[in-house]
Amino acid sequence: VTLPEGIDPREAFDRLKAARRTLAPVVGADGGLVGLLTRSGAVRSTIYRPAVDASGHLRVGAAIGMNGDPARRAAELVTAGVDVIVVDTAHGHQDRMVEVVRAVRAALPDGFPIVAGNVVTAAGVRDLVDAGASIVKVGVGPGAMCTTRMQTGVGRPQFSAVLECSREAARLGAHVWADGGVRHPRDVALALAAGASNVMIGSWFAGTHESPGDLQYDADGRAYKESFGMASARAVADRTEGEDAFDRARKGLFEEGISAGRMYLDPERPGVEDLIDSIVAGVRSSFTYAGAASIPEFRERAIVGIQSASGYREGAPVPVSW
């Protein structure tokens, strides 16, 4: 069973179902292999589209730090074909970050998107946008692998941070990405309601077939992958591999993150696309409840209230036996 390139998604689904196949090769007019299409893929293509560039390739972002020569690295990455540069550090509202963003902006073509962060205040957004950032990454401490708030007391609840930062970004003609604290589709909807243009997902996607790392199994045979914070002792040890033992031991004392976390693959949703299905379904339903047809309209119409811990628990599903 093969499918012709450009086939209508509904027809492709019907052909696969009639043939009792879950997937089939897609071939071009010359008989060459174009790709594979599954029943789920046919349905997905009618609901949302991948983020692709003018050539049809998936868009790619590259993150750089503040050390070394970030402007040169950014320029080389743009030449290599990346679509967005992220100047990334845990504490983005500092003089060094502002200097680096200015240098990167000067080294890249006019209008090329530069993301900088992380910050949690309007002042942080203002300074980074003034330095040349077109997008500001918001979030200190909400990530699953992050222990910053517990160890330092530094950070801010994510919704409040996104709400304040997005208002300032909108005033300046910029955007914000909500980075961290996303564990359910509701968290994506709340970030969009607070004014985020995009939502970054880390640990939730770590437990998928596509994520980096070896697939491992626990004593019960459950598949998982290991994830760890980028400020954890494990990450610091990886970054300082070329230094002498004393300096490595010294830097290993200053950790802010979990060095080993098991991210179990959900048998029902083992891939990134499966999780995106769930996220899109939840967010679309949120839009329906608010009577919104677009992200800007959702932001205007959404009404967010405060609930207690018991109120949150009340809304969580509970298995019931009859």
Q: Helix, strand or coil for residue 288?
A: helix
What pLDDT is attached to residue 231?
Answer: 65
What pLDDT is attached to residue 229?
Answer: 67
CA-to-CA distance for 227 and 82, rounded, in angstroms?
25
| Beta-bridge partner residues of 179 | 200
Question: In the annotation, is 165 catalytic?
Answer: no
What pLDDT is attached to residue 233?
Answer: 66
- Write out the two tokens for 14: 């019907």
Q: What is the dihedral of CA 149, 152, 155, 157, to 10 degrees?
A: 30
What pLDDT is attached to residue 240?
Answer: 75
What pLDDT is attached to residue 129?
Answer: 98
CA-to-CA distance for 45 and 260, rounded, in angstroms?
36
* Residue ranges of the chain whose pLDDT lies below 70: 145, 229-236, 254-260, 321-322
- Write out the two tokens for 61: 């972002």
Which domains are assigned to the chain? 3-44 (3.10.580.10)
CA-to-CA distance for 271 and 265, rounded, in angstroms?
8
Give this prediction's pTM. Answer: 0.85
Amino acid at site 242: G
Residue 317: count other Cβ atoms within 10 Å of its Cβ: 5
CA-to-CA distance for 134 and 108, rounded, in angstroms?
13
* Catalytic hit among 37, 101, 138, 146: 146
